Amino acid sequence: MRKKEIKEHSSFQSRHRPLFPTKPLEMSKPPPVRYVVVNGLRYVVPYMSCQTYSVKGDHDGKAITQVLGETFRLQRGTQDIEESKRHWQGEVNGKRIALKRRKTHKEDTGPFTADFEEVLEEELAVKEQDKIRMNKHVHERVVTGSTPTLIEDTGDFVIINKPAGIPCVDSQGGFNNIIDISIHELRPHLRPGLSLKLHPVHRLDAPVSGVLILARGGKHVRSAMNDLRERLAKKWYLVQVEGSFPDTTKSLVYCDYKIGWDSKLNKAICYNDPDSVKETDAVKSAKTSFKKIKDLDNGTSLLIASPETGHRHQIRVHLSSLGYPIIGDVLYGSKPLTCDSAPVDLYRDSSEQELRQVLKETFQDWCPKCHWVQKVLDGDNILPVPQLEPEIHLHALRYIIPSVGICATSSLPHWAAAHASSSKDILSHWEGSG
């Protein structure tokens, strides 16, 4: 994308809503998404939006700047609390914060005051369930510039080959996720006249590639998810692991370690003795089958993994617990990649200075992220430049969901292309396994 194209796609000032609308508003509708791909990375052009936050019980009675400072720190939580508070004091003084009070007594007119009101005092105390609205200049996460490819559009389902490095959904409601990117990139190849509201039937972790099934309409999601929940669906993943995996010529290797989730570390936990831990809401039974394809010359092994259950990070944590972490999966004990898949610095501008042009067109003087990006582009930042999370060598190769007639197979990932001729070649190793 060249400078004049960026300018055409970056005119946001006339599109965002007034700072404090006359009618209640939970989330303003952002302008149409604009992407720019620079040096292999995909950026969303910054835009204006409103975010609403409901005050939690442990913040009852605290100053609004204290609440915002503790809840919304910059640099993913590493910012000093006093520095964060000063930022939100500036937001209050800049008239970009509004509050809707929770009524103390239930009335016929509803539980809340009529509308958001502009916050004028930095030390204004808030109460539990009060709603705070923040006018924000959104800089979304950066993802890989790789484009998803269409496997099939059945009418009810859009099946794609997801690149590694793109999340399935964005917890903040942004656009740099696989669904929005797929609609943007694949729209000319989709069936005309059908809905573009797509819903994931299942999810793949951001660093994982392969088959991803998106449904048109909730009823199709429910049908497909029922097969997944009842273990009627079949799934095969291609994996490259560290070390020489045990021979599976006579029988598969099974792992049935129960799985929990550590929310502080944001990773799965394996319980190596299944009988020592009872199944609860926090600890789930899990089973994954493995078939070895071959040992590779670099001291790694190529496998097929078939999870019977579908828990978050299941294949990753099971292989790690068996002593064979997935290549590149640092979270579960693998060594960092040192090849082309290694982490790359974000905000590396092109020779045409495309990122500088984007920043110039959308710069907001009150936005700290705008100033931070400016420092990064100038080489004058005081914080380490963030890096794109590298891919791991885990790829969803085939999904079969009987009730909706889906049998989808993806092409081989780049890291496996030298070790097999096709996906069919890989899957032939599984046939006849017991």
Where in the sequence numbering do the catalytic residues fall? 205
CA–CA distances in Å: residue 65 to residues 72, 85, 94, 263:
10, 6, 13, 26
Q: Which amino acid is at 160?
A: I
Give yes or no for a contact between 157 and 215, defined as CB atoms under 8 angstroms apart: yes
294-308 burial by CB neighbour count: b if 16+ within 10 A, else e? Answer: eeeeeebbbbbbbbb
- φ and ψ at 291, to 5 degrees? -125, 120
Dist. CA 347–CA 98, nearest whole Å? 32
Q: Which amino acid is at 89?
A: Q
Q: Is the dihedral of CA 321, 326, 328, 329 positive or negative?
A: negative
Dist. CA 25–CA 8, nearest whole Å? 28
Give yes or no for a contact between 177 and 163, defined as CB atoms under 8 angstroms apart: no
Neighbours of 218 (CB within 10 A): 10
Question: DSSP per residue over 88-145, as a string?
Answer: HHHHHHTT-EEEEPBPSS--TT-SB-SS-EE---TT-B--TT-EEEEEEEE-PPPEE-
> Which tokens sit at 156?
């009810």
DSSP secondary structure code for residue 387 in this structure: B
Angle at 75 between CA 70 and CA 80, to 5 degrees: 45
Dist. CA 429–CA 367, nearest whole Å? 55
